[in-house]
Amino acid sequence: MKTSSSKTALFPPLQPYRSGMLPVDQLHALYWEECGNPEGVPVLFLHGGPGGGITPSHRQFFDPAYYRIVLFDQRGAGKSTPPGEVRNNTTPLLIADIEAIRRMLGIEQWLVFGGSWGATLALAYGQAHPQCCLGFVLRGIFLCTQAEIDWFMYGMRTFFPQEHDAFIADIPPSERGDLLRAYQARLFGDDGEVAARAARNWSRYEGSCLFLQPQPETIEACSDDAIAIGIGRLEAHYFLHGGFIEEDQLIRDLDRIRHLPAVIVQGRYDAVCPPVSAWRLHQAWPQARLHIIADAGHAALEPGTAAALVAATEQFRVQQCFD
């Protein structure tokens, strides 16, 4: 499916046939929705961030006549409540949430689809519950290693110096040696106005680096407080704790899912999650099929990436990708 537009690569827009809120503890309730064919093959969409939330376009990577499409907002993200909440918010708890949704919906196994942090969570979930997974479609690989976290905080300046200077503008020079701690002090401090500004700066920084070609509307959307609070607070929270996984755990534990089919889609010019992580994952998991998109950055909706993701779900559907 080779097209010049991400919109023409996707399936047509569709609406959920049911949705709801699932309380998972005394603090958090998760928004979830189902689309497509209620009797179809289940597929789980895991959004990025952490804190990014789902959007209507995320439903469109899957043939709605074939797939039972399940999407949800992770703790503190999107329509889940409370927004931007970091208490009781860890990777093991997100994995438990996925299982709670699977059991609630009566699903035995599903295809797991995730990009960026969603790919991180897909791997962590699959390694914890391989018996529940049919396979994986993974984009923009982030293994949540310290080197990748450091790249986000400092290395992206190599390609986006102006955007990085804006990111650190509110941080005094004396604190710039540890930007993550500097942001922690502001995002989680007592001054709500300072915290909101820090969240906007963080979210805008990431939004400015997502695409190969600048997308002003995306940058502007990332500055919206409703989006920024989830992105800024939750990404910083997870970075501060190494994603609540051990260093290189996702590579170390690949044997738990090595037998399952997988496709990796990676933008050649992804500055947020550089291709070296996708290459490391593929080298450790050669059974997974790797597609490097020559004219793409990090975003899922860049034309080549969107087409490759749809092709992956279609290939899984016709059982040709995993022969």
Indicate if the pLDDT at residue 322 is higher than 90. no
Q: Model pTM greater than 0.85?
A: yes
Average pLDDT over residues 178-196: 97
Query: d(Cα 312, Cα 310) in Å, to the nearest integer?
Result: 5
For residues 191-220, average pLDDT: 93
> Got the DSSP string for 54-68?
--GGGGGGS-TTTEE
**pLDDT for 93 beyond 80:** yes
Query: Is the pLDDT assigned to residue 57 strictly greater than 70?
Result: yes
CA distance 299 to 287: 25
Q: Are 42 and 293 in contact (CB under 8 A)?
A: no
CA distances (Å), 177 to each of 113, 160, 174, 186, 266, in order?
Answer: 36, 18, 7, 15, 30
pLDDT at 320: 41
- Is a pLDDT exceeding 80 seen at residue 177? yes
Active-site residue identified among 47, 237, 282, 298: 298
Residue 73 a catalytic site member? no
Is 174 annotated as catalytic? no
| pLDDT for 5 | 57
Catalytic residue, chosen from 116, 203, 208, 277, is 116
Tokens of 53: 């939330």
Mean pLDDT of the chain: 95
pLDDT score, position 280 = 98
Q: DSSP for 273-311?
A: S-HHHHHHHHHH-TTSEEEEETT--S-TTSHHHHHHHHH
Q: Which fold has domain 6-145+246-318?
A: Rossmann fold (3.40.50)
**DSSP H or E stretch at residue 113:** strand 110-115
Which residues are CB-neighbours of 241 under 8 A, at least 6 positions away? 90
CA distance 67 to 44: 10
Tokens encoding 200: 């906007």
pLDDT tens-digit map of 136-166: 999 999 999 999 999 999 999 999 999 999 9
Number of H helices, E strands in the chain: 12, 8
Active site residue 116: yes
Question: 């991180």: which residue's tokens?
Answer: 120
Catalytic annotation, pick one of 80, 237, 270, 282:
270
Question: Domain limits of the chain?
Answer: 6-145+246-318, 147-243
Which of 7-16, 161-170, 287-296 shows the lowest mean pLDDT across its residues?
A: 7-16
